[in-house]
Amino acid sequence: IFMREGLVILRLLWFSRTAFLRTLTEENRLQKSRITWWEREGSTSPPGVTARKPVDEDETPLPLLSKKGFKTLPLWDFEDIYNEDADPLPDTCADSLRKSKDENFTKAFIPNIRLFSHKDNINMSEWNRLSHFNNPYGFMGFKYNEVMPALKLIPKPEGPMLLPKPGGDGCIRCAVVGTGGILYGSKKGAEIDAHDYVFRMNGAIIKGFEEDVGSRTSVYIHSAHSITKSLLLLKKYGYKSAPHDEGIKYVMMPEGKKDFQWLEGLFKGERISTGPYRNRDPRMYYSGQYDEQRFYVLHQDFLRYLRNRFLNSPRLNSTLWRKHRPTNGAFTLFLETLRVNVYGFITDDYEKYASYYVHKNTKSEFFFRMSHDFFMEKELWKHFHNSKIIKLYQRNEPKTGGKKLKARRERRGKD
C-alpha cells in the first residue's frame, strides 16, 4: 500500500513539474511576442473577422478560464482579430481620422471596427471566443447563464450613432471633454458648445463651470460604477445626476459582471435582482432620458483593439494585467473616427493643475490609479496632437518649479 501511494505521489510531482515548465515556456513566449502599435513593421491592412463561423448546435459554453491562472496577459492566436461592421459611410471630410497621413496610425487603425454590441451579434461561438479575454475585453471567468440574458436584451442600433449636420460640408466636428483641472479658467465653454457633438464621461459636472467646460452634452459614456459612484463622490460640488440633455445618447462601457446585471435591469425596466446594485432601479439614473434606441453598449472587440494596438502598457507583462485597462476617456476618444478636438485630458504640464476642474485652483496631487497607465496615454495624446490626428487643448504657460514633485509622480506612475 505504501509503495503504491509513493508511486502515485512521484507521478503527481512529475506531472506538476512538466506543467510548470510548459507554463514558464509559454510565459516567456508571451513576453517576447507583445509589441505596441508603433512597432508593427511591415504590417498592411489590419486583419478582421467579417463573419462568424456557423453555430454548432451541439456547441456548449467553454469551461471557465480563470484570470488567476495567468501571471501575465495571455495572448491567443486570435488575439488581434476583431469583428468588423459593414463598410462605413462615404467620408467626404478632408481631415477625418480615416484620412490621416500618419503611417503608424493608419496601419493600426480599423475604421469599421465593431463599436457596439447587440443581441443579434452574440451566439455560442462568439461567447466561447470572447471567453478567452478578461473583462472588459471579454467574458473570462463569467458564467454563461449569468451574463447571456443581458446580452440578448441589447437592442440593435438603428443606423450610425452620429450623422453630419444638414447643410454642412460633410464633416462631423466632435468635442471630447474630460474632467482635468486644466479646464478651470480656460474659458473654452463656448468653443466646446460650438461643435456638432459634445462627448463627456464619468462625473461631468457642468453647472457653475459652463464658461470653462460648456453646457451641452450629446453623448455620455459611463459604466455602472461611474454613474452611481459619481453621485456620492461629487455631491458636495453640486453634482445631482448624469447629463440628461434632450435626445442625449448614452454609451455603456461594461467593465464587469455588475454592469451586465445593471443592463438587464435597465432593459427590462425592473429593479436589479442580484449583485452590488441589488434593488436599484437603473432607469432612475438617466433622469427620464433613457431610450433603448439611444442607448449603446461598447463591444468587447473594440475595447481590446484599443488596448492591443494603441495602449499596450508594460503593466500587461505583470500581475497587474488583471485590473489594468485604458481610461474611460481613452475609450471615448476612439469612438469618433471623424474630426476630434480634445479638452481636459492629461498633458505634459499636468502637475500645474488640480486633478479635477471642480477643485478649481486647489493644487491637489494627481491621483494615479494602478488600473490606468496615465503616462502612456499622455504620450499617445501628445503624439496624436503633433501628428494632427486630434487637436489636444494645452496651455502654453511657462512652467514654474515642481521638478522634484513631477519626478516623484512619474516614478509612482511607472511602478
Which single residue is written with the C-alpha cell 494602478? 370
- Where does the pLDDT of residue 372 fall: very low under 50, low under 70, confident under 90, or very high at 90 and above? confident
Which of 354, 336, 386, 402 is closest to 179 using CA atoms? 354
Query: Is the Cβ–Cβ distance between 270 and 280 less than 8 Å?
Result: no
Confidence of residue 98 (pLDDT cuts 50, 70, 90): confident
For range 166-192, the mean pLDDT: 91
- pLDDT, greater one: 360 or 264: 264
Cβ(162)–Cβ(172) under 8 Å? yes
Q: What is the pLDDT of residue 281?
A: 98
Please report the pLDDT score of residue 367 as a whole number: 55
Cα distance between residue 143 and residue 63, in whole Å: 9
What band does 96 get if pLDDT is binned at 50, 70 and 90? confident
- Phi, psi for residue 121 in degrees, rounded to 5: -115, 25
pLDDT, greater one: 159 or 147: 147
- Cell numbers describing residue 70: 495567468
Task: Examine the pLDDT at 375 and tell me if it is beyond 80.
Answer: yes
- Chain centroid to Cα 282, Å, comes to 21
Task: Tell me what pLDDT residue 89 has.
Answer: 62
Helix axes 257-268, 224-233, angle to 10 degrees: 90
> Which of the two residues, 389 and 371, has the higher pLDDT score?
389
pLDDT at 26 over 60: no
Q: What is the pLDDT of residue 32?
A: 38
Domains of the chain, each with CATH number or no CATH: 159-255+291-414 (3.90.1480)
Q: Are 234 and 203 in contact (CB under 8 A)?
A: yes
- From residue 109, alpha-carbon distances to 203, 302, 308 in Å are 29, 11, 11
Q: Specify whether the CB–CB gap between 353 and 362 falls below 8 A.
A: no
More confident of the two residues 158 and 229 = 229
Q: Tell me, what's the pLDDT at 86?
A: 79
- Residue 58 is predicted with a pLDDT of 58
Query: Per-residue pLDDT averaged across 32-52, rounded?
Result: 38
How would DSSP label each residue in 203-236? S---TT-HHHH-S--SEEEE-HHHHHHHHHHTGG
Helices (H), 255-390: 257-268, 300-309, 328-333, 374-386
Phi, psi of 264 (to 5 degrees): -60, -45
112, 85 contact by CB (below 8 A): yes
**CA 74/CA 120 separation, integer angstroms:** 28
What lies within 8 Å, CB to CB, of 114 at 6+ separation is 82, 83, 84, 85, 121, 299, 301, 302
| Out of 20-24, 250-254, 264-268, 294-298, least confident range | 20-24
- 93, 97, 62: which is closest to 76 by C-alpha? 62
Q: Is a pLDDT exceeding 80 seen at residue 338?
A: no
Q: What is the pLDDT of residues 200-218, one digit of tens each?
A: 999 999 999 999 999 999 9
Cell representation of residue 267: 432593459
Grid cell in block for residue 255: 467593465
**Across the chain, what does the average pLDDT equal?**
82
- The predicted-structure confidence for 58-94, as pLDDT tens digits, reads as follows 589 999 999 999 999 999 999 999 999 876 666 677 7
Q: Which residue has the higher pLDDT, 329 or 22?
A: 329
In this structure, of 28-42, 124-138, 214-228, the range with the lowest mean pLDDT score is: 28-42
